[in-house]
A and B are shown apart, each in its own frame.
Chain A
Amino acid sequence: MSETEINHSDGNGATVADASSGGNAIEVRDLRKSFSHQQVLDGITLDFPAGRITTIVGPSGSGKTVLLKHLNLLLRPDSGTIVIDGVEATKISGRALDAVREKFGMLFQAGALFDSMPIFDNVAFPLVEKTRLTTPEIAERVHETLRAVGLEGMENKFPSQMSGGMQKRAALARALVRHPKILMLDEPTTGLDPTRTGAIHDLIRRTQENFQLTVVMVSHDVPAVFEVSDRVAFLHNGRTHLNGTVAEVMAADDEVFKRFLAGKASGEDEAAVAG
């Protein structure tokens, strides 16, 4: 299956830097990763333009989550490079690695809120642990961030006392509280009903505009997620199958992507299910 770069391509699956968007926040080149002889990422080359929302979509097992875990540096690739904000991040460790990590905030699929802490402490946690802000400054920043995600007044609630949508918003507040340059979202609307999904999408768009963030999002929620995205990367079999603006990808005459959008299994998947 050949890769298709729909627009702004350098011919190798990568997006040519767009002057208006301030270049690429993240550049991935020929990323490969296998687990127990199973090739999960098979040469991903992808750019994430600064100040844009790029959504990674694809069927289960296509490598979306593994790619995100490489972007947030939880996993190391077998080969290939990831440049984050100008720093080659795959070979660094220690303080250099921490410095890169401090540039991004991450919203995990299940929120990953610390269930032993109330929401205030959860959101304050990165500030308490990684900054020298005073207690009043931290409190002000936490209240300001909670207000931005619509959770004002919920400071003393524990995660278990909140709905799934509120937990996602609290987790988003924690990801944003240090004013990161890059925001990574892993399935931000999983488990939410359509109303709350729309609300979270609106919040992501509003937050991106307010903070001028680069957003990298993994989502199963197609086509709803396209409304909030600037660009889409469609992964298939561990490779970047399509990559471009939402309009370009939606207009692409690609059978695999059409089947994915229609919720139909590919020939390979059908064979696998059939055994």
Chain B
Amino acid sequence: MSIVEMIERLGALVIDGVAQLGAFVLFLLSAVFYVFVPPFKPRLWIRQTRIIGADSLFLIVLIGAFTGMVLGLQGYNTLRRFGSSGALGTVVALVLVRELGPVLAALMIAARAGSAMAAELGSMQSTEQIDALTVMAINPVQYLVSPRVLAGVISFPLLTSIFDVVGIYGGYAVGVGLMGAPAGPYFNGIAAAMDSHDIMTGIWKALVFGVVVMWVCCYKGYHAERMATGVSRATTEAVVLSSVLILAFDYFLTSILL
């Protein structure tokens, strides 16, 4: 391969990458734009909020409880070495509210609701249901994507808050109930050490993760290839990319909000 051919291929790759990135960003802008453009379909985003939010509740409670229990166990054993087991509540709450709550809740929702969303839209793409909407003069982004993005923005902070609360009680059950950490300082310490900035840090992260997960999962499903492996590939890519972006955005948001 000559140098000119190599440069041509490299150039083609760069152009293709920039075009895909542009399409990816425009997809989100379009979805957000159509949230504010009539006709408004409240039943669509209520349905999506139920699918993303209510249907994920059991999973979020389960994971939140076990996460808090592990934090209670590890936190108690670590703090006891320094004679600080009274700070267990503060540690569990801060770790959950600022960091683990938004990240783990987002990863769980991406795995459960995000993958289902990518598969559903991918299936609709491969069976021409999205084309059918277009031919009926119904904007498919407005009908399919905007309600999901809006539902994500509503559901993620709510689910994250539930995850945090359940996790704090899980930490209490194990740290105080099982391991014998002092009960009084657990909740008193949380009230004293945690302020609104800590809570808002978690909420902002949940909001951003909500948009990111819905954006990625809808994009991947919407643009699934019309072939046998198209839906499965779209679903896998949606979950992997969502997870990577959740962790990457978590770092940048933590840097900004610290």
List the interface of chain A (C-beta within 8 A of B).
72-74, 97-99, 101-102, 104, 106, 108-110, 112-115, 125-126, 129-130
Q: Write the nearest CB–CB distance from B37 to chain A, whole angstroms.
A: 12
Asked whether A108 lies within 8 Å of B136 as measured between CB atoms, the reply is: no
Looking at chain B's contact residues, the main secondary structure is helix
Residues on A with C-beta less than 8 A from B14 are none
Task: Report how far A108 CA is from B123 CA in the complex, Å.
Answer: 15
CB of B128 within 8 A of CB of A108, answer yes
B54 → A minimal CB distance (Å)? 17
- A108 vs B131: C-alpha distance when bound (angstroms): 9
Taking a contact as CB atoms under 8 Å apart, the answer to whether A130 and B137 are in contact is: yes
B129 close to A (CB within 8 Å) = yes
Contact across chains for B127 and A110 when beta carbons are under 8 A apart: yes
Residues A130 and B138 in contact, CB atoms below 8 Å apart: yes
Enumerate chain B residues within 8 angstroms of A73, measured Cβ to Cβ. Answer: 135
Q: Are A102 and B131 in contact (CB under 8 A)?
A: no
With a CB–CB cut-off of 8 A, which chain A residues contact B128? 108-110, 112
- B132, CB-defined interface residue at 8 Å: yes
Per-position contact with A for B127-162: 1 when CB-CB < 8 Å, else 0? 111011011111000010000000000000000000
Cross-chain contact A126 with B127 (CB below 8 angstroms):
no
Is there an interface contact between A106 and B127, defined as CB atoms closer than 8 Å? no
A to B CB contacts below 8 Å, 5 in the list: A74-B134, A101-B137, A106-B132, A108-B131, A130-B137
- Which residue of A is nearest B131, CB measured? A74
User: Which single member of B127, B129, B137 contacts A98 (CB below 8 Å)?
Assistant: B137
- Name the A residues within 8 Å of B134 (CB-CB): 74, 101
Interchain CB contact under 8 A, B129 and A106: no
Q: Are B131 and A114 in contact (CB under 8 A)?
A: no
Q: Does A129 lie within 8 Å of B136, measured CB to CB?
A: yes
Q: Is the CB of B136 within 8 A of A126?
A: yes
Question: How far does the alpha carbon of A97 sit from the alpha carbon of B134 in the complex, in Å?
Answer: 11
Q: Which residues of B contact A74 (CB under 8 A)?
A: 131, 134-135
Q: Which residues of B contact A99 (CB under 8 A)?
A: 137
User: Whole-angstrom distance between the alpha carbons of A97 and B139 in the complex?
Assistant: 11
| Closest beta carbon of chain A to B157's beta carbon, Å | 27
Alpha-carbon separation in the docked complex, A113 to B131 (Å): 11
Further contacts, 10 of them, CB under 8 A, given A101-B135, A106-B132, A114-B129: A72-B135, A97-B137, A101-B136, A108-B128, A108-B132, A112-B131, A112-B132, A115-B123, A129-B136, A130-B136
A239 to B: closest C-beta gap in Å: 25
Q: Are A125 and B136 in contact (CB under 8 A)?
A: yes
Which residues of chain A are near B135, meaning CB under 8 Å? 72-74, 101, 104, 106
CB distance from B39 to the nearest CB of A (A): 8
- Residues in chain A near residue B127, CB distance under 8 A: 110, 112, 115
> Which residues of A are found within 8 Å of B124, using beta-carbon distances?
114
B105 CB to closest chain A CB (Å) equals 26
For A114, give the chain B residue with the smallest CB separation.
B129
Q: Which residue of A lies closest to B132 (CB)?
A: A112
| Smallest beta-carbon distance A177→chain B, Å | 10
Chain A residues with CB below 8 A from B136, complex form: 101, 125-126, 129-130
Chain A residues with CB under 8 Å of B132's CB are 106, 108, 112, 114
In the bound assembly, the distance between CA atoms of A106 and B131 in angstroms comes to 10
A112 and B129 contact, CB distance less than 8 A: yes
- CB-CB nearest 9 A-B residue pairs: A98-B137, A112-B132, A112-B128, A101-B137, A106-B135, A108-B128, A112-B129, A126-B136, A102-B137
Q: Which residue of A lies closest to B139 (CB)?
A: A98
- Taken together as a complex, chains A and B put the C-alpha atoms of A114 and B129 apart, in Å, by 6
Bound: A112/B178 CA distance, A: 57
Set of chain B residues within 8 Å of A101, measured between Cβ atoms: 134-137
Give the docked Cα–Cα distance between A72 and B135 (Å).
Answer: 7
Interface residues of B in 91-112 (CB under 8 A from A): none
User: Closest CB of chain A to B223's CB: distance in Å?
Assistant: 15
A149 vs B175: C-alpha distance in the bound complex, in angstroms?
67
Contacts of B137 in A (CB 8 A): 97-99, 101-102, 130
Q: Tell me the minimal C-beta distance from A202 to chain B in angstroms.
A: 24
- Closest CB in chain A relative to B115 CB, distance in Å: 17
